[in-house]
Chains A and B, each alone.
Chain A
Amino acid sequence: MIYGRCAACKSQRRRCPSDCIFSPYFPANNPQRFASVHKIYGGGNVGKMLQQLPHYVREQAANTLYLEAQCRIQNPVYGCVGIISKLYQQIHDTEAELAKIQTQIACHKLQNQQYEAGSNFNLLPPQSSSMEQFQWPNQTPNWFN
């Protein structure tokens, strides 16, 4: 059959059988898709990998093989691993920023509590000697050093 062959069989210049393992996932109208996986994995390996999987996950497997092959073609040294590494870095940076902001929120809450507690003493005479009992600075946690 000259027409109706999948991209894999066209690429390999062979007959495309009715039960071709590639044809559902590598259609003829997208030759670049098979070319990518063939370049990185080899057609034989892709066929073996798909054969070992149940039918209902083969499409997903073909999609992820294609994505990984594309990553490797675009970045021959690191491929997908480069993306994973960058994501880990981003996650670390974002976690650090989140922790910093949560610290600031906690400090603000503490200060607000102190403001509220401090405002209760506005009734006392400002020059009263009893103020010496309330030396707050010595009792506050050392947040800022």
Chain B
Amino acid sequence: MKGIKGYEPRSSSSCAACKLLKRRCTPDCLFAPYFHSNECKKFAKVHKVFGASNVSKILIEVPEKQREDTVNSLAYEAEARLRDPVYGCIGSIAMLQRKMMELQHDLAIAKERLARCRAVAAAATITTTTAPSVIDSLHSDVTLPPFPEFSTSDDLNDIFCHGSSSQFLGRNETVDDFNQIPYIF
């Protein structure tokens, strides 16, 4: 077998893509670094939704350093589309947009309440004249001392809130950045 020209046995070294497509996995196979031989389901999903040739076209267009992220995001989208053939990832986006709108509404109400509380507190400190150093012992002036920095919002949630847990840290952006995605619901 070794003497046959061009023959390369299809062994466990074939990537998942070449296994599924039943072709020879060459050393420079585009899929091999991202679809290991034990990831057949992952490639099957991506192939079912996008098609192998479209995936290879997408991968060729992106820099090599970003191909792993590209494959992972394609796998995520394929999974979402197979799970929800009508809405796919757009369903998740719509749900998150809705949650964001509710949170912004809650935040606006909370800020308004805080402003009212501060006004009441300021009025209370002004009208209090000969009271013992009860208030003075709490803070030296009418402004509140700085709040400690909590490491995670989970601490606060446990004590005061019943909001859902969050997993990501990130920068501040407005939801208005996503003009291309209409509010579906």
Contact = CB atoms under 8 A, between A and B. Distances in A.
Judge: A and B partners, yes or no. yes
Interface of A: 39-42, 44-45, 49, 52-53, 57, 60-61, 64-65, 67-68, 70-72, 74, 76-109, 111-112, 114-115, 118-119, 121-122, 126, 131, 134, 136-137, 140, 144-145
Given A79-B73, A84-B93, A93-B172, 9 more contacts: A45-B51, A77-B70, A83-B178, A84-B96, A85-B168, A89-B169, A96-B153, A102-B110, A108-B121
Contacts of B10: none
Contact of B49 (A41, A89, A137): A41
Contacts of A44: 51
Contacts, number: 223
A121 B135 CA distance: 12
B21 interface: no
- Kindly state the interface size class of chain B when it binds its partner: 35 or more
B131 A118 contact: yes
Interface stretch (B24-32, B35-43, B54-62): B54-62
Given A90-B173, A105-B113, A136 B156 contact: no
A99 B90 contact: no
Interface string B76-91: 1100010001111111
A71 to B, nearest CB: 7
Interface in B127-163: 128, 130-132, 134-135, 137-138, 144-145, 147-148, 150, 153, 156-157, 159-161, 163
